[in-house]
Structure 1
Amino acid sequence: MVKVSLFLAAVLMQSVALAAVSPSYQFKILADNLNHPWALAFLPDGDMLLTERSGALKRLTAEGTVRFTIRPELPEMLLVSQAGLQDVMLTPDFDQSAKIILSYACGTLDANNTCLASAVLTDNGLTNITRIFQAQPLKSGAAHFGGRIAFLPDNSLILTLGDGFDYREQAQNPANHLGKTVRLNSDGTVPQDNPFVGQTGYAAAIYSLGHRNVQGIFYDAPTQTLYSHEHGPRGGDELNIITPGTNYGWPVATNGIDYTGARVSPFTTFTGMQQAIWGWTPSIAPAGMTLYRGTLFPAWQGNIFVAALAAKNVHRLEIDNQKVISEQVMFTELKQRIRDIRTGPDGALYLLTDSVAGQLIKVTPAS
């Protein structure tokens, strides 16, 4: 009884400590009636680019007014179930080139994978749309495409990929891109210092392997750390620190079980495979992610925010020396699936809710 009381006291103290450093906030809906919004990017002039999984790209003002909505003619874009338009990122030389990068599902229902395209942003839409990468091999089905993009300090980009759901064993096959993250130059070519370049039996674009479906990634420049998270099956969602050439275990080592209730693997850890720094069981279905370096919420400086679909909330993780030391569940009052979360240049947090009538929500300190 004493031990239980001590445990409860410790939990209560942690909750109080979290509450003490959690500033009050307010929501403002900037845009609504968005068709499964997926990603958000901020332009230097204050505007925003927003993608919808249904294939539309919108340009909005800082106040949420839509300047244009287009359906970019991305080569062989596939729109069904989880397949569609995904991430959008500005290239590091955007100020000179006006180039952006889009990720999307491409191909047919029987032969598809994740693609990247570059394009030039104009006042009215896009020009010079060019497919620069297609993950291999082509597979059937419409699930687990990954699709998040991050740029590294050398201007190379990381693209997260999925295992295609029915092809999970391929996440351990180094000859293809299923269940991997890949590192590319912004034109889609492979950097020659990738970890497996020149190795027989390895796809040269691979940066890390052993992933299920990575839909959140963020490079934190101050700590030079690349964080990503991925969906587990029933349980086993993971937060990882990504380093080149590392194997993250799926499906050999996992804390999740199959949707049928069967065991995916008898192992939760395995020799030579990197363990997650944090995890969620039951699954929260992690989606977008940001690491806060804004100014509006000083108490959240350096915290990771993870959007959750199934859990319908956001998880704030306090990080110390690349370790999670506390977690707080936030924004449950919205009662919505959260697809993406971004830190704006103004220091506000921006949320995208996932539905046929999705919203863009701005989070600022309570006045």
Structure 2
Amino acid sequence: MHKRIFAAVLCSTAFLTPALAVDQVFETELGAVHVGTFAEGLSHPWGLTFLPDGGMLVTEREGNLRFVSDAGEVGEPIAGIPDVDARRQGGLLDVALDPEFEINRLVYLSYAEPGDGGNSTAVARGTLNDELTELANVEVIFSQQPKVDSQQHFGSRLVFDNDGYLFITTGDRSAAQFRGMAQELDSHIGTIIRINADGSVPDDNPFVGDEAALDEIWSYGHRNPQGMAMHPDTGEIWANEHGPRGGDELNRIEAGVNYGWPIATYGVEYSGQEIMEGESFPEGMREPIAHWTPSPAFSGFLFYTGDEFPYWQGHAFMGALAGTSVVRVELDGDNVVADEFLFTDLGLRIRDVRQGPDGAIYLLTDESNGEILRLSAQ
């Protein structure tokens, strides 16, 4: 089992400008990297996706979807966004494009959906107009059940795989009275969902035909997976996951697998009380590929494939909220052979990590005056 105790080891070679925009060079283990502000003035941005004709869409947790141009200009809120419950960790969260976006213009949004009993993670899709000002024909294609009275642990990452299936992470909703449902297949709580692009259920989902289970479930026993990515070589889905006090996880997601929460974890309660009996996961529950203590609080997740950083090709990158870092993870198959905590000196909560069409890496900072940062080779 791979367990890391992290430390901030990098130093910068420049300082913040008086306007607080970032313009720094960091020496990393494999090369120098420039970190610069690409856009600013965003309110707690959460998700980012690049448009094929240039620019990007960015969500703000308070409920706005915005177009950001290639020049870093932030547009007005796009109309047609569904109502969101924007409290604490809830709000408008991830954004993804349909695999056939250039034909159908469909955009997918995950968010905290208000309703009877409280709220839940939901996914809606709508058609983006050519002017980038409105989503039309918006429909909800997934709504986590049951709704509960909580403002935490929504999960909410969206990833399409090579076959066009949409994967959705959901959280355990945090409170003790809810999190046990992550072990119960008649609930979407604490699961990773796999559906077709229109919200229907694929026939080969692992629990289809089981009357005691919900058909949308792909895997279960998750706490709060806030980063997810498709492996560029294998096409498999990987996810990171918040532990409680310690025990943040990296997992390869497989059909029908139980990932242990809230029975098995390498973290402990915030009080310090032990959770797991014994020193390893019980039989029938999947051990994480790697786990980290203290908790970096992982978020956005990327497998890098670009040419801007040849020495990083094939490496995984994960944003860290509590750890105010980007964590680089070098893998050999399912084994973590090295990790590196980058840009910790900035002191910024990194919410999302994306590779741009130019091969650069783009970061979202989870701040009231949030920024898009661009990483380039120095």
- Contact residue 81 and residue 135 of structure 2 kept, 8 A: no
**Partner of 1:11 in structure 2?**
none
Q: CA deviation at 1:221?
A: 3.0
Partners in 1 of 2:69 and 2:352 — Cα distance? 18
Partners in 1 of 2:102 and 2:366 — Cα distance? 31
2:272 aligned residue (244, 247, 261): 261
**Partner of 1:95 in structure 2?**
102
Partners in 1 of 2:313 and 2:242 — Cα distance? 26
1:328 aligns with 2:337: no
- Comparing 266-275 with 78-87, greater Cα deviation is found at 266-275
Using the size of structure 2 for normalisation, the TM-score is 0.89
Between the aligned residues of both structures, percent identity stands at 42
Using the size of structure 1 for normalisation, the TM-score is 0.92
**Superposed, which structure 2 residues align to 1:1-367 within 5 Å?**
22-70=30-78, 72-74=80-82, 76-108=83-115, 110-122=117-129, 123=131, 124-166=133-175, 167-267=178-278, 268-366=280-378
Paired residue type of 1:222: D
Aligned pair count reads 348
Partners in 2 of 1:250 and 1:182 — Cα distance? 16
Partners in 2 of 1:287 and 1:64 — Cα distance? 23
- Comparing 216-225 with 185-194, greater Cα deviation is found at 216-225
Change (3 A) 1:169 1:25: same
Q: CA deviation at 1:207?
A: 0.2
Partners in 1 of 2:65 and 2:81 — Cα distance? 11
Partners in 1 of 2:359 and 2:70 — Cα distance? 13
1:40-95 per-residue CA deviation (whole Å, 9 max, x = no partner) reads 10000111000011111110111211233235431x42111111000000001101
- Contact residue 28 and residue 342 of structure 2 kept, 8 A: no
Partners in 2 of 1:71 and 1:104 — Cα distance? 16
**Partner of 1:8 in structure 2?**
none
**Partner of 1:10 in structure 2?**
none
User: Counting helix residues as a fraction of each chain, which structure ranks higher?
Assistant: 1
Paired residue type of 2:159: A
1:185-220 per-residue CA deviation (whole Å, 9 max, x = no partner) reads 111111111011001211110000000001000002
Partners in 1 of 2:115 and 2:347 — Cα distance? 34
Paired residue type of 2:210: Q
Paired residue type of 1:199: D
**Partner of 1:4 in structure 2?**
none
4+ aligned runs moved over 4 Å, structure 1: none
Q: Relative contact order: is structure 1 or structure 2 higher (C-alpha 8 Å, sep ≥ 6)?
A: 2
- Contact residue 56 and residue 72 of structure 1 kept, 8 A: no
Tell me the SS of whatever aligns to 2:226: strand
Paired residue type of 1:58: R
Unmatched 5+ residue regions in structure 2?
1-9, 11-26
Q: CA deviation at 1:225?
A: 2.3
Q: CA deviation at 1:258?
A: 1.1
Unmatched 5+ residue regions in structure 1?
1-14
